Structure 1
Amino acid sequence: MRIIDLSTPVDANKWEPNPIIHEVMSAAEGARHMADGMKANHGIDFDPANLPGGELLSLDTITLTTHTGTHVDAPSHYGSSAKYGRMRHIDELPLEWFIGAGVVLDISDAPTGSVGADVLEAEFSRIGYRPGEADIVMLRTGADVRAGTPSYFTDFVGLDRSATALLLNLGVRVIGTDAFSLDAPFGHMLRRYQESGDQSVLWPAHFLGREREYCQIERLANLSALPSTGFIVSCLPVRIVGAGAGWARAVAIMDEPLAPVAKGETT
């Protein structure tokens, strides 16, 4: 069995629109913290010097959003009401949704903005496979090479409404991308709206989640290491009660090493 990591690391040293704060309590500080707590809460005196090396355990405190790093968006992230009823939080979704056959669609040659159903149909033909129910479809945009830089959040390609609807109509319930968002970059959508006055260009992939229940995996990585099909994806989200998203350690599981399928080739 071969396991390929598809996750973007959570790194406080990299650029993020919502900065990560990572505070580390050293093992020595942990010993003093424990001793102070025992004295204050239980009246017990304990000298940290009695511990091996004067150390107890380290402790990391991290402040970040649930949309930092590789994460799964729950339906409740898309709005406050839906046509299908109550929008479930990340802790309420079936675990079966997040382990399934993986499908990689390569749209890395598309410019910044969004692609439609026609582009996905062409990719289905190229790889010789049409996604179905329980498949986890992941879009290879190539944006992951810019992760940790400002351009990662402004230069990528997403899906329009027709492309998202196509996948949902095929029975797909989890759609992933190696970009910051399944929609086009914020600035791109807002400029299109200012030019046209058409509200349908604003977050069409996310807002479709108000009509159809599905999840997105955003900020994946290493999709170029995968074939188009023939592997299993696990992207189980962290169980955060009442949250609209949860971090995930997404991985691909393959029975044997397989070479990725490049544009112009067939499986």
Structure 2
Amino acid sequence: MTHKRVQFDFELEFTNGGGLQGQGFRLDIEGDAIDDRDLADYIVRDLRLLMAGPVRIMNKSIIDEPHKRKREPQPRLSGIVELSHVVGDGTVTYPGLPAPRICDYLSREQSRAHYEAGTEFQIARIDMVANTGTYVDCPFHRYADGKDLAQMPASAFADLDAVVIDADHRQGIAIDVSRLRGFEVRGRAVLLRTGWDAFWETPEYAAGHPFLTEDGAGYLRDCGVALVGIDSMNIDDTRGRARPAHSILLGAGIPIVEHLCNLSALPPDGFRFTALPPRFAGVGTFPVRAIATLGAR
């Protein structure tokens, strides 16, 4: 069997300062090719680097050469923490968008006519816009040619290694690069804990909320994060018409989860994150049951 390896030069910047360079570096690969983003993740994992930030790949070529090492399996974790808001009839998520209407399509009383004595069911009807409660955005939300919920793999939303970055709104509502450095973020779900979820379902929730800046979004993209979540009304500054964080992250295929809650119950890292939406075609946003999974299993 012919084995393939990739040979390349690279430059890596650490989130807490400094950097690392490599020339003529070689790594084993599966198949005949590897893209730059996957290769950047591979370098960080293979070298067991911490605080890895942006990685630039140069002079990449694929060569025939026997493999040199085996990949180690990643540990799995368990234990559940709820990170989603409860949505009820009339819950306002985003001012200006209609609140959901939740009612019976078939009530228990009505169902009794269809079944034997003592047997009854309820079938609910829910009328709502997709941007309701805690929800995930995928590329189709922003780009007509982007992947919709049905096209995105489940792995983009489920069982992601995760990290919480403390971005307390009392220290400023703009989350820029200076507040993102010094964390291990590559290949992880990055959850921005602002504490703004305390204002959920109040008039204050939509006014002057925390947001990720354009340079902050670009930095996380360049660091190769898997997903970005925030416990605020929007990941962008809604005081203007531009939406750079959505444009940058979704343009790179990085999902966004908005309206998270309870992030204060999580440790800084050592857990996994899931925010799995249903597989609707032609839809770019939908509510999720977001959870953190804690503890070894």
For the aligned pair, the TM-score class normalised by the smaller chain equals 0.7 to 0.9
Distance 2:99 2:284 in 1: 19
Say which structure is richer in helix. 1
CA distance in 1 between partners of 2:249 and 2:201 (Å)? 28
Please report the RMSD computed on the Cα atoms of aligned residues, expressed in angstroms: 2.0
SS of the counterpart of 1:156? Answer: coil
Which of the pair has the greater relative contact order for Cα pairs under 8 Å at 6+ separation?
1
What aligned pairs does 1:46-125 form with structure 2 within 5 A after superposition?
51-53=116-118, 56-80=120-144, 86-98=145-157, 99-110=159-170, 113-121=173-181, 124=182
- Amino acid in structure 2 at the alignment position of 1:218: E
5+ unaligned residues in a row in structure 2: which ranges?
1-77
| More strand as a share of residues | 2
Query: Is contact 1:6–1:251 with CA below 8 Å preserved after alignment?
Result: yes
Q: Does structure 2 conserve the Cα–Cα contact (< 8 Å) formed by 1:110 and 1:157?
A: no
Which amino acid in structure 2 is aligned with residue 52 of structure 1? A
Name the amino acid aligned to 1:232: R
Is 1:189–2:240 an aligned residue pair?
yes
Kindly state the Cα deviation for residue 2 of structure 1 after the two structures are TM-superposed.
Answer: 2.2
Amino acid at match of 2:103: E
Could you say which residue in structure 2 is the equivalent of 1:30? 111
Q: 2:217 maps to which residue?
A: 164
Q: Evaluate the alpha carbon distance shift between residue 220 and residue 210 of structure 1 in structure 2; reply closer, same or farther with a 3 A threshold.
A: closer
Kept after mapping to 2: 8 A contact 1:176/1:218: yes
Residue type of the alignment partner of 2:137: D
Q: 1:152 aligns with which of 205, 208, 219?
A: 205
Q: Relative to 1, partners in 2 of residues 1:209 and 1:104: Cα closer, same or farther, differing over 3 Å? A: closer
Residues paired across the two proteins, number: 214
CA deviations over 1:208-257 (Å, ceiling 9, x no partner): 2464221101111100000111111111112112101122111111117x
Deviations 1:120-142 (A, max 9, x none): 12xx3xxxx32112x00111111
Query: 1:112: Cα distance to partner?
Result: 6.5
Structure 1 gaps of 5+ residues are 35-47, 81-85, 191-201, 257-267
> Percent same amino acid among aligned pairs?
27
**Structure 1 CA distance for aligned equivalents of residues 152 and 293 of structure 2:** 22
TM-score computed with the length of structure 2 as normaliser = 0.67
Q: Any conservation in 2 of the 1:104–1:140 contact (CA below 8 Å)?
A: yes
CA distance in 2, matches of 1:79, 1:110: 33
Q: Which residue of 2 aligns with 1:130?
A: 184
Secondary structure, aligned partner of 1:168: helix
Query: Could you state the TM-score of these two structures normalised by the residue count of structure 1?
Result: 0.74
